[in-house]
Amino acid sequence: MAHIEDRRDKGRGWRARYRAPDGRERSRSFKRRTDAERWLATQTADIARGAWIDPSLGRMVFAEWFSRWENSLVDLRPTTRALNLYVARKYLLPRFGRYSLVRITTSDVKAMLADELAEGRLSKSAIRRHVLVLRVILQAAVEDGRLGRNPCIGVKLPPEDARPMRFLTAVELVRVADATGEHYRPMVLTAGLVGLRIGELAGLRVENVNLLKRTIHVREQLLEVEGKLIFGAPKTKAGKRTVTMPAQLGEILAEHFSSEPVRRSGLAFPGPKGAALRRNNFRRVWRKACARAGFDGGPLDGLVFHELRHTAVALAVDQGSRSKSA
């Protein structure tokens, strides 16, 4: 039976006791009787509705639970897994690593959010991800019976950073493609005219490009996970697709495919020495090319390679409009 024991004569306040569903007695001491009554009422109510959690399980520290959670990540895409683990190790473990799971409160999560927003070093999108990753980790603890509820639930996240949709004109596309140099120029033009992502371009094999029919079959992409290059399927089923290229691009690719790096690797867009393209290496080339193209400081300042997908759509729409008016 649940009861409260008066232990003030021993200087120990009030002890609340109850019999848990596992048959073991649980107890906790309080300075005030009202606190003991409130805690005991909560425990007995949880038992009655089948929501009781063994408090000893929740005493596991966050760092130890993270290690168990990490080993359970088998169904995530390699890039998603790597990103989530990076966030946890870089931001969550330093803050919550020594906390027992039951000690992490909604107020603690809100405090992390407020601190990171106040620092102003990270984008709102990055800060959102910190909370979302923490939510996933703690939800796994809920499902494992270590927490009664997820303290991240109900925490209001900051809005995503709004990035204006930008695209290049045909002249600007050619200008930045020329600025990347002879080796990368065909890849930049392909991105801006066809709309392939950087991973799809890096993973594209020559055998999946039909120059006669002017088609590109997207079947896989190249991922870089913790420094390792991995060929994998596109992110979604719709990612496997066939796209058509302009005739002029086909002529450019025909010449490009005869180059030594392409013939050596079998990849449509390898690195300059024939190895698979690494995004970080190309990112430096891209930044310098944007500067040489005169984009820095203007409306196209900070243009990222992914925005060439917007360019491909805009140029296709423009070409369609011209065709109809001709």
Calpha distance 24→29 (Å, rounded): 17
Q: Where are the domains of the chain?
A: 3-52, 58-143, 170-325
Region label for 46, one of left (φ > 0), alpha (ψ between -120 and 50) or beta (otherwise):
alpha
* H or E, element range at 255: helix 247-256
Q: C-alpha distances in angstroms, 69 versus 137, 144, 149, 152?
A: 7, 10, 17, 17
pLDDT of residue 322: 54
Asked if residues 190 and 262 have their Cβ atoms less than 8 Å apart, the reply is no
Distance CA 96, CA 105 (A): 11
- What is the CATH architecture of 170-325? Orthogonal Bundle (1.10)
Q: What pLDDT score was predicted for residue 157? A: 92
**In this structure, CATH architecture of domain 58-143:** Orthogonal Bundle (1.10)
Provide the 10 A C-beta neighbour count for residue 161: 11
- Residue 127: pLDDT above 70? yes
Provide the token pair at 214: 């002017």
- The pLDDT tens digits of the residues spanning 150-171 come to 999 999 998 877 667 888 999 9
Q: What is the pLDDT of residues 283-308, one digit of tens each?
A: 999 999 999 999 998 889 989 999 99
Q: Is the pLDDT of residue 325 over 80?
A: no
Q: 66 and 137 in contact (C-beta within 8 Å)?
A: yes
Q: Considering the chain, what percentage of its residues have pLDDT values greater than 90?
A: 57
Tens digit of pLDDT for each residue in 17-49? 888 877 788 888 888 999 888 888 888 887 787
Contact between 229 and 276 under an 8 Å Cβ cutoff? The reply is: yes
Mean pLDDT lowest among 60-69, 105-114, 176-185, 310-319: 310-319
Segment 97-103 mean pLDDT: 92
